[in-house]
Chains A and B, each alone.
Chain A
Amino acid sequence: MSIPNTAATDGIEPVVPVPGYPNTWTHTPAQPLIRRLPGRTDLAGPAALHRKLVPGAVNLAEPTPGRPAIGQLMQVSGRILDEDGRPVAGAVVELWQANAAGRYAHANDGSVAPLDPNFLGHGRALTDADGRYAFTTIKPGAYAVPVEETWWRPPHLHFSVHGPSCLARLVTQMYFPGDPLNAMDRILNAIPDDAARLRMIARFLPPPSVGDLFLGFTHDIVLRGRLATPEA
């Protein structure tokens, strides 16, 4: 079975349907996507989106001072870039994740793993002039996907990024280097291109750069948008 709208992304975008992920069989459009040239509606973007999506917590690990979350404290930071490698300033970056036990603080998570009242599972930041974001959090736990033939999701962070145009909108996930579950994850491995998968795995920062209180990871995210170059 082939789905035409997965074509022409050079292996960077996920191939669907994803085995073991039944919803991808019923939610993905079957008709080919319609190609159009970008116009004003695509090139423009809500420049002051932070007025709507107000920046929130960047410390998920200790929302109440003196009451840290359970888990391995971690700092994750990086830059939001465009396809030419230029930093994207003023991008809204939303992050959400499971707690150290692999449980989301969300009504839809039916897992029996415990919630952690001292862990805030979500944060929102605005990139600075260098395109930088930074969060303090804990390393999330893995969890089993509740489908018939279950499989494990490796520890991962969810990122939602709003760039400068309608086209530069990205929702992705970040993975951790060296985790044996990465090789078996259906969602990560839906990306056919080896290098593209590697780009979704954060880089470990050795202690000299973050000190001894936190694990350190750095993760840059590149937004699409070259299509947004105005037509001559």
Chain B
Amino acid sequence: MHPTSQQTIGPFFPAQFFGAADHDLTRISADAAPTRRGETVLLRGRVTRQGGLPCVNAVLELWQADAAGRFAGEAEADPDFLGWGRACTDADGRYAFRTLMPGGFRDGLGARAPHANVTVLGSGLMRRVLTSVFFDDAAAVGDPVLALVPSDRRALLIATPEGESEGLRAFRFDIRLRGEAETPFFEV
């Protein structure tokens, strides 16, 4: 069967669809106990469009492995970690996730460096865009997917350490949908 066509999420995605713990991947739900495995980190940044202007009310969805590099549902995966979260940008285009530092893993593509997948949906985006953020430039060297990105654009997918906040290591990952220093995106 043919897949149903994508359409823009538009400007009216309901605020009620964002639950209190949706941006916090370390808890499966607002009333669930946090995972006890791994290092909790902050991942934050801005989503901008051409001209560096903020994208307001963009929806970001994060998907990643647990601290040991296992995905939810796989054998021995962290039972308190779903690996999925959702956040919305504010009037300045800013978003923030609280998550686990993902572990690296091996699959048919080779040895994957620690990374999280980020989908962005928003008004003006007729199709979702998908990218990956890596947390450590030394570890990311040799990642078989990052290697597909033209070498002069790879640094755009490495999060920048931003010190500590709330006692947690913070990483900054800006997403530029179009224009100067445009974020590399993958086919979906």
Contact = CB atoms under 8 A, between A and B. Distances in A.
A30 B178 contact: yes
Contacts of A85: 1
A97 to B, nearest CB: 9
A195 interface: yes
Contacts of B187: 33-36
B74 interface: yes
B6 A33 contact: no
A109 interface: yes
B14 A54 contact: no
Interface residues of A, number: 78
Contact of B7 (A33, A48, A83, A171): A171
A28 interface: yes
Contacts of B107: 39-41
A41 B112 contact: yes
Contact of B108 (A39, A122, A196): A39
Q: How large is the interface on B (under 10, 10 to 19, 20 to 34, 35 or more residues)?
A: 35 or more
Interface in A2-29: 5, 12-14, 16, 18, 21-29
B178 A51 contact: no
Contact of B1 (A30, A44, A83): A83
A199 B153 CA distance: 38
Nearest to B25: A52
Interface string B1-33: 111111111111111110101100000110010
Interface in B109-147: 109, 112, 115, 117, 119, 121-129, 132, 145
A77 B14 CA distance: 21
Contacts of A107: 15
A16 B126 contact: yes
A222 B2 contact: yes
A171 to B, nearest CB: 5
A229 interface: no
Contacts of B145: 36, 39
Contacts of A231: 108
Contacts of B177: 27-29
B2 A14 contact: no
B9 A196 contact: no
A24 B12 contact: no
A200 B3 CA distance: 10
Given A26-B50, A52-B84, A37 B108 contact: yes
A53 B86 CA distance: 10
Contact of A26 (B73, B126, B127, B178): B178
B175 to A, nearest CB: 10
Given A39-B107, A52-B82, A195 B2 contact: yes
Contacts of A173: 7
Interface string B166-188: 00000000000111001111111
Interface stretch (A65-73, A162-170, A208-216): A162-170
Contact of B5 (A14, A40, A124, A166): A14
30 contacts: A13-B126, A16-B126, A26-B124, A27-B50, A27-B124, A28-B178, A29-B129, A29-B182, A29-B183, A29-B185, A30-B182, A31-B184, A34-B185, A37-B109, A40-B107, A46-B63, A47-B72, A48-B72, A52-B29, A52-B82, A94-B17, A98-B12, A104-B12, A106-B14, A122-B17, A158-B7, A158-B13, A160-B13, A166-B117, A196-B5
Interface of A: 5, 12-14, 16, 18, 21-31, 33-37, 39-42, 44-49, 51-54, 56, 81-85, 94, 96, 98, 104-109, 121-122, 124, 158, 160, 166-167, 169-173, 187-188, 190-191, 195-197, 199-200, 221-224, 230-231
Given A41-B71, A42-B117, A160-B13, 12 more contacts: A14-B126, A25-B50, A27-B177, A53-B86, A54-B19, A84-B1, A96-B14, A96-B17, A171-B128, A187-B8, A188-B7, A190-B126
